[in-house]
Structure 1
Amino acid sequence: MSTPQQTPRALRMFDMVLFSVCAILLLSQVTLTAQIGPSAIVWTVLMIALFFLPYGLMTAELGSTYPDTGGIYSWIVRAFGNRWGTRVSWWYWLNVALWVPSVYLMFSVVLSDMFFPDLGFWPQVGIALVLIAINWGVNVLTLETGKWVSNVGAIITVGVILLIGVAGLITWNGDGSATAFEWTTSSMIPTAATMALALPIIIYNFLGFELMSSASNEMRNPRRDVPRTIIIAGVLIGAFYLISTIGMQVVTPAEEISETSGLLDVLTVVFGAGVFTTVVGIGILYAFFAALIPWTIGANRAAAEAAEQGDLPPVFKKMSATRRTPVGAAGFTALVSATITLVYGVLFSLTNGDIDALFWSLFAFSSIVFLLPYVAMSLAFLRLRSQDPQAHRPYRVPGGVVGAWTSVLLVVVLLVAAVFFFVWNPWAEFDATTTWLILGGLAATFIAQEILVRRSSHWKDRAEHPELSARVDLEGIAPDTPEGAERALQPHGGEQS
């Protein structure tokens, strides 16, 4: 898989580490993880061993062996063909378009708490729409611009997390911990109930290392740097999530941590509501915005590559002639994100206008769509191992066949469990409204997906034979139908020679 024109190689390994940290270490996830309670610490360590390690090893092998521009899309096409490429590129792109509103709604809550405490529900939705437009602007500029936005966001994110750790130490040495860290089932020992809470959130926390491969044609040495980046960034991300989880729970009881305003609440408790907290709050706002830049860049570039191969609608493949950025995919992402924001806003304003509930519903729906490509990626890893054994693999998952199968089984089983718990938590009160919204959204997603799969053969014909789009035979059969494509490829407008 390759892009039509050569692009400058702007990404060093340092940039890739920061790019990955900014994409995967998310302040929006810190509060969700801390809400789980003290067992989140144990679950995080378990998921590093049972999920992140095998997932990271597989991604390192795929990314170094096949440094294709399309990243996860390209790997799945190599393994299973274009129909599955269409499905996965649709999931991958749609997840980002759905997720953008939830994070930018969190931004609007923090902004409101800091400067406009009486700001209503719809003005907060309006702020999210403005941020979607700014995100689009960054995506259509050069990758160099997006890189610096992400790098600064990663540095601020790390700074905020370290500050949360300091806040936890201050509280611990002063009034003591607000949360009891005890080796009991009501505290740190994992249980079935905490598993249902922890698995979806913590697995989500460690996904995204394949993003860098979507810009592999702009890396200086992807075969060498991809495995190293995964190791370095993975260690940093795991450590920072643990620091933030413990720090927040020391300052505030887990059950009192807000999904949207929890970060600012913790800092205000320890440092007061003065200038310092305000400055840090502005940094948090920037980090919320910047965290989505790597995701939208990665998803839009993968979608553009898929459209170039005829696996997504042609609107996705339009590239800037001068900057080589995916203006078509970026514009469509912004349009869908804005539409979803408004639709969900209307639904929740008709109920109770609860921005926290709106955030969770959007997050859960987008997260399920987000997890599906990784199931396909894991299976593609096994398929490519067997059907392409001669490929040069600068890095291999250790353990031979046993190591490969063990890695895939662990990752797939945990991903499927996470999807189930996002839809229904058997140990929590059933929320019919949220559950049916999620299931309805998934049904619409799968219907749209199969429509795209049926249409993809026509787009593929046009991608491989551009002359078809300008030809119609004498009987009036359009070239983007199977009959038209067959006729147009025959001599003399479809007559048999």
Structure 2
Amino acid sequence: MWVGGSLCIIALTTWEEFFTPLPGGWKYAAGLLFIWGGALAVVQSVRIGKWVPIAGAVARIVLLGFFLVSVVVYATRHGVHTLPAGDFAPTYAGFVALVPVLIFNYVGFELPSSAAEEMTNPKRDIPLSILRSGLAALLLYGGPILGILFVLPSERIGSLDGFIDACKAVFTVYGGSIAADGTVHLTGAGAVFGGVAAAGLIIGLLTSGVTWAMGAHRAQAVACADGAGPAWLGHISEKHGTPVRVNLLSAILASLLFILALNLTGGDGEKYFAAGLGLTICTTFISYVITFPSLAVLRRKYPSVPRPYSVPGGRLGVRLVSALATAFVAFTVVVLIWPGFGVGWFGTAGSAADALPASFAGQRLRYTLSQVVPLTLFVGIGLAFYAAGARTRREKG
């Protein structure tokens, strides 16, 4: 969902903004190349495949570091504008709009545990990697985004194309210009640096999907081996040590999603991005609605199992953390399917219609169908998988 949805369309939009348009079948070819390039990396063993996310991390660090320097140069040359304090005042409408993306930033840290058996000292390495990546993300993403907000008008960065254009505008300090209508044209060193940054962004997007898939696919394979799905999907390749069958199935589904979404949106990147991002977060969070309560359940059923990472506060602390986390992700699922849920209720300001993505303005039914129809399909597949695992569950007693 993530690779074939939002990651793929961001990569394609970046390519078209910085390099050349992708007319007709070229867009399909580029999207499928992006998806299957990632699949090839995921199939490899952790010993080999780990270099893909490492390369992506290096690319992001270099790219974002250079971009932050470029933002400072842009600000020095063109000045900065103040950010009105009123824009940051908390409102319910703002909370409903932002909570899905904010919480999405904090899920997935558990995925490295899926490959713990292939690590020398996971008890030490996993917490340290989470701490390091969290601090790096804060600096390398927070800094450039804050800089963009200071140097560019907010109305120019309110959409996918707008944000990429905003990033592109920063590189005009090396060569290029911004037309009165906001169109950015890079020349000379600006075009060179912009192209390198765009390539780095595309590589970063690809490796983000690969990193997530390396953990998620292992978890899926183990679940199938335990009877939550077809037993044949629980097979781990002896040659690669990876769940090749799950990897390939995931790539096939991502390809189908990409082709279907591109046709349903008529090639409209903004609609594709909005629907794909919402669906990606929603499907992820539905799994967490089930996962988070299991913390309290497993602590109660198996209190003596050694646990390298534990929630403080005893049973009360565990229940509190489980309840809060579950409530947040359940609420997120609701507001993703129905943006603006609760806006205008009980005296709150705003209109629920304003919470729709800009590309779906006035098209509530169409947006809702873009979420509900795929979710219904996925639930059906999940139930079919669970039924297919019945024999495995019986054999395991």
**Cα deviation code 1:261-281 (max 9, x no counterpart):** 456423431222221121121
Are residues 1:374 and 2:277 paired?
Answer: no
Q: Aligned partners of 2:269, 2:25: CA distance in 1, in Å? A: 10
Partner of 1:356: 270
Residue identity opposite 1:114 in structure 2: F
Q: Aligned partners of 2:8, 2:371: CA distance in 1, in Å? A: 19
Q: In terms of mean alpha carbon deviation, does 328-337 or 339-348 score higher?
A: 339-348
**Cα deviation code 1:198-255 (max 9, x no counterpart):** 1111111121111101101111111233233333322332343322321222233333
Return the match for 1:443 from 364, 372, 376: 376
Q: Aligned partners of 1:422, 1:258: CA distance in 2, in Å? A: 18
Partner of 1:153: 56
Partner of 1:236: 136
Q: 1:176 to 1:422 in 2, by over 3 A?
A: farther
Q: 1:290 to 1:391 in 2, by over 3 A?
A: same
Return the match for 2:65 from 162, 167, 179: 162
TM, length-normalised to structure 2? 0.83
Q: Aligned partners of 2:258, 2:109: CA distance in 1, in Å? A: 27
Q: Aligned partners of 1:370, 1:254: CA distance in 2, in Å? A: 29
Q: 1:145 to 1:257 in 2, by over 3 A?
A: farther
Partner of 2:8: 104
Residue correspondence of structure 1 range 176-195 to structure 2 within 5 A = 176-177=79-80, 180-184=82-86, 187-195=87-95
Return the match for 1:341 from 258, 263, 269: 258
- Check conservation: 1:110, 1:260, Cα contact below 8 A: no
* Number of residue-to-residue matches in the alignment: 361
Return the match for 2:279 from 351, 365, 371: 365
| Relative contact order, higher structure (CA 8 A, sep 6+) | 1
Return the match for 1:392 from 286, 306, 329: 306
- 5+ unaligned residues in a row in structure 1: which ranges? 1-96, 466-497
- Check conservation: 2:230, 2:386, Cα contact below 8 A: no
Q: 1:409 to 1:162 in 2, by over 3 A?
A: farther
Return the match for 1:126 from 22, 26, 29: 29
Q: In terms of mean alpha carbon deviation, does 237-246 or 410-419 score higher?
A: 237-246
**Cα deviation code 1:34-53 (max 9, x no counterpart):** xxxxxxxxxxxxxxxxxxxx
Q: 1:414 to 1:177 in 2, by over 3 A?
A: farther
Q: 1:238 to 1:294 in 2, by over 3 A?
A: same
Q: 1:174 to 1:402 in 2, by over 3 A?
A: farther
Partner of 1:485: none
Q: Aligned partners of 1:308, 1:127: CA distance in 2, in Å? A: 34
Q: Provide the secondary structure at the position in 2 that maps to 1:321.
A: coil
Q: 1:160 to 1:202 in 2, by over 3 A?
A: farther
- Which structure has the bigger radius of gyration? 1
Q: Aligned partners of 1:339, 1:103: CA distance in 2, in Å? A: 15
Residue identity opposite 1:218 in structure 2: E
TM, length-normalised to structure 1? 0.68
Residue identity opposite 1:443 in structure 2: T
**Cα deviation code 1:446-477 (max 9, x no counterpart):** 22222222332124457x59xxxxxxxxxxxx
Q: Aligned partners of 2:207, 2:35: CA distance in 1, in Å? A: 12
CA RMSD after TM alignment = 2.3
Q: Provide the secondary structure at the position in 2 that maps to 1:174.
A: helix
- Check conservation: 1:99, 1:362, Cα contact below 8 A: no
Q: 1:346 to 1:270 in 2, by over 3 A?
A: closer
